[in-house]
Amino acid sequence: MKRRSKKYTEALSKIEKNKVYTKEEAIKLVKETSTSSFDGSVEVAMRLNLDTKKADQQLRGAIVLPKGTGKTKKVLVIAKGDKANQAREAGADYVGDVDMLEKIEKENWFDFDTMIATPDMMPLLGKLGKVLGPKGLMPNPKTGTVTTDTAKAIEETKKGKVNYRTDSFGNVHGIIGKASFDDAKLAENLKTFVEAIMKVKPSTVKGTYVKNISISSTMGPGVKIDLNSFDK
């Protein structure tokens, strides 16, 4: 059995076992029980009633959090001509085409958090799929990172866009901010994330869609949230 730190054990003692809290109570608890020595992230985990063997129940997409994530993301745009110029003007950290792809392939360069590509460049990215895919960096239309509107994609990413994807058990995770955020900011981001996942409920789902929701900070224990508190 994994031995837990004294800090974690103390944090865990503040949370009542089997109790579900309102989202406001949960946010306060998560901030109180943050055990990391740095400004940790706050993450939401949603357990969904999905059969991920069915293609239409594999959720994937992106959500723009109104209060951001607290992290400045470096953006690489793969584009040519006018689209490349638009990307530079919109504040992309790196812009290029074959030169940037060769840098990734030959130098194992990954000094960026998000890659955005125009549709015409996607055939060139194919050979890097095995490298970019496992790192979650492969551009995808579902997350808005394959687009002709590079300026909009950059703006959303810089504002605080987070990607989500169901795991094999039907769970969805996402960062909703930092432990240093005030309660209202975390609450607004949490509400936005949950509402977005509710909107993409597959029509083939039978019974309860959301089994439970919990939030936690980096290295901190999870706090379960009463689903009814999102109706308020």
**pLDDT tens digits, 166-221:** 999 999 999 999 999 999 999 999 999 999 999 999 999 988 999 999 999 987 88
Report pLDDT digits (tens) over 88-137.
999 999 999 999 999 999 999 999 999 999 999 999 998 899 999 999 89
Are the beta carbons of 57 and 200 closer than 8 angstroms?
Answer: no
pLDDT category at 6 given cuts 50, 70, 90 is: confident
Architecture, CATH, for domain 16-59+166-231: 2-Layer Sandwich (3.30)
Residue 1 clears pLDDT 50, i.e. is over it? no
Neighbours of 200 (CB within 10 A): 12
Delimit the domains of the chain by residue range. 16-59+166-231, 75-142
Domain 75-142 grouped into CATH 3.40.50.790: yes
7: pLDDT strictly greater than 80: no
- pLDDT tops 60 at residue 2: no
Other CB atoms within a 10 A radius of the CB of residue 175 amount to 20
Q: Which of 11-15, 143-147, 171-175 has the lowest mean pLDDT?
A: 11-15
Q: Give dist(CA 168, CA 94) in Å, integer.
A: 34
Q: Which residues share a beta bridge with 212?
A: 47
Indicate if the alpha-carbon torsion angle 29, 25, 64, 194 is positive or negative.
positive
pLDDT single digits (tens) 60-83: 999 999 999 998 899 999 999 999
- In this predicted structure, which of 2-16, 28-42, 90-104, 185-199 has the lowest mean pLDDT? 2-16
- Could you say which DSSP state residue 206 is in? -
122: tokens are: 């996607």
